[in-house]
Amino acid sequence: MSGPVATVDAPPDIDEPGPPDVPSFEVWTARAADVGGMTVRRALPKRARRTVGAWCFADLFGPAAAADAGMRIGPHPHIGLHTVTWLFDGEVVHRDSLGSEQPIRPGELNLMTAGRGVAHAEVTPADGQGRLHGVQLWVAQPGATRDGDAAFEHHADLPRVDLGAAKATVLAGPLGGARSPARTDTPLVGADVVVDGRADVPLDPAHEHGVLAVDGEAQVDGTALAPGTFAYLGLGRDAIELGGRGRLLLLGGEPFPETLLMWWNFVARTRDEVDAAYADWQARAGRFGEVASELARIDAPRPSWLGLR
């Protein structure tokens, strides 16, 4: 999906990354945001907590069960990030300016790398309307790859890890002896965890982590998390204790060492980079390519620091 869309979701301030809390337990409720007319719950970024590892954006959409439930996000650009799409219910077709056309269904992962520029559209097909539940996550690319080529991956068969009362599907990085085949440019982990009783999930103490409650009444370290709640766990933990019954999304990684400037759908470092991406998208420059979509292109908002014309 299209990400921030409204500029208010990614204010043009540059946050100092600062040291992650060591170790800590911090809980917040994802805020409502509008993406293409669809209300989502946005857990990241948060003003005081912009990233968890390289994870810099987390939207939870649905569950929706209605005749008009579905995603209709027209072509829009990205730079400097991977989009990671994971569904619990429903279907979305991804089309991008590389020529990729890939339906995604529950249990499958779409991972698009923007590098210096890509565009995509995400639409629920006509015969897939009526249900939608999932997440879209962004991973910031490091300096070493963020000016590189765009790419797209689809993974229909991800490793599963049995942690006793918790069953995990590994979306990214390593967990419990398994490793996702999905591309990662920095050390990180992502997993879908279904818990039914008490279970310990092993963590890398060199990573900070976050847990997004998706549904049910799962507990993290004895704290019940309602769906749409996000718990941040600082560095230095080798496990978390899960309990209750529900579904959680585990995100983690080495604290991201570079200061990000996030504006609309762009993850950059400087205003000049955002200005150039904005101008190139509005001018339909070749940098972003074209997406074969029946939906209209989404205009980029003019960066606020450019002032009024």
- Residues of this chain that interact with Mn ion (CB under 5 A) are 2-3
Q: Which of 171, 161, 308 is nearest to 253 (CA)?
A: 171
| Least distance (Å) between residue 61 CB and Mn ion | 12
Toward Mn ion, which CB reaches closer, 67 or 296?
296
For Mn ion, the nearest residue by Cβ is: 2
CA distance 267 to 282: 17
Tell me the CA distances in angstroms from 137 to 55, 84, 177, 282, one per residue in order.
7, 5, 23, 25
Toward Mn ion, which CB reaches closer, 1 or 203?
1
Toward Mn ion, which CB reaches closer, 54 or 233?
54
CA distance 209 to 202: 11
Toward Mn ion, which CB reaches closer, 182 or 195?
182
96, 74 contact by CB (below 8 A): no
For residue 216 the two structure tokens come to 């049910």
| Least distance (Å) between residue 175 CB and Mn ion | 26
Toward Mn ion, which CB reaches closer, 110 or 229?
110
Amino acid at 295: L
Tell me the CA distances in angstroms from 43 to 13, 22, 47, 227, one per residue in order.
18, 21, 11, 11
| Least distance (Å) between residue 2 CB and Mn ion | 5
| Least distance (Å) between residue 76 CB and Mn ion | 6
61, 132 contact by CB (below 8 A): yes
Toward Mn ion, which CB reaches closer, 241 or 284?
284
Toward Mn ion, which CB reaches closer, 2 or 100?
2
| Least distance (Å) between residue 152 CB and Mn ion | 12
Tally: H helices and E strands in the chain: 1, 24
Q: What is the DSSP string of 279-296?
A: HHHHTT-TTT-----SSP
What's the number of CA atoms in the CB half-sphere (13 Å) around residue 76? 21
Helix (H, G, I), strand (E, B) or coil at 17: coil
Q: Which of 242, 177, 166, 184 is nearest to 204 (CA)?
A: 177
Toward Mn ion, which CB reaches closer, 81 or 242?
81
| Least distance (Å) between residue 174 CB and Mn ion | 26
| Least distance (Å) between residue 244 CB and Mn ion | 33
| Least distance (Å) between residue 78 CB and Mn ion | 6
24, 36 contact by CB (below 8 A): no
